[in-house]
Structure 1
Amino acid sequence: MSETVVFMNMCMICQGDQVLVMDRKNQDWPGITFPGGKVEYGESFVDSVIREVKEETGLLISGLHLSGIKHWMDDNQRYVVFLYKATECEGRISSSTEGEVWWEKLANLPALDLALDMLDMICLFTGDGINEFHYRLEDQEWKKELK
């Protein structure tokens, strides 16, 4: 049996004890999160996260490492988000129509108005031994699995 898949990405950009965050107030997924977006047809996953970060923040990232994946099913379609961490960037940050961006201490993130599930995804980004974040529908209720 085959399934339709939508690929997306997200990137935690690190500079010392700070990470680049963005506030997506006008999006389907509001709150403070990391930059990222959809993978375009024919685009590599790494190229897509580099492009999305550049569009949303003005930064050119490098030193990318895959930190984990998040995925779920909805309406017979699977959504897969590749979670990257970048340790190098160049340029000046600039906010975009996607949201305001700024540097924030990683330790401060739990106190911010984060987007849904961001605390769980931070566990994947920071290498706390978790590689996968999966939602599955069981008895009409969403169950979260961190593996």
Structure 2
Amino acid sequence: MKYIAVALVLFLQQGIASAMCISMTLERQFQRAQEVMIVRVTEVKKEGEERRYDAKYRAKYVVLESFKRLADNRDDVYSTSEVHDIALSPGQTYLFFIAEDRHVGSCGGSRTWLWNSPDKDEKTAETLTKLRRLRDHGASQEAP
């Protein structure tokens, strides 16, 4: 029984803790991000170790629509092979909420995006409308 308890504690520390995201509204994700944009990834390079959780994937992209952008105009981000990071693929379109360290992950709001798709669902159209409103009128005054 003692071994089961130790194994459970180790599992919870490694697995569950790294698998939790705090749910945030789109407005909060927008406010926390340094940059927010819809992009098409043009190149992905793997950096780092071969082990599962040490891999880092650096991607270059072209901006299709910008909602919040810094003046430095960088065109690179990174993701990892962690549970809540997104898989980056050349040619794929994404909605990026870019953190200060250039990280993109699903906990921050980043996701694949159906750009100009005839199959846009209501939620996609609603998200786009909200992002344009936030860009044009500023983010809500919700505290960080």
- Sort the TM-score into its range (normalised by shorter chain): under 0.3
Structure possessing the higher relative contact order (Cα contacts under 8 Å, 6 or more residues apart) = 1
Who wins on radius of gyration, i.e. which is larger? Answer: 2
TM-score with structure 1 setting the length:
0.24
> Per residue, is there more helix in 1 or in 2?
2
TM-score with structure 2 setting the length:
0.24
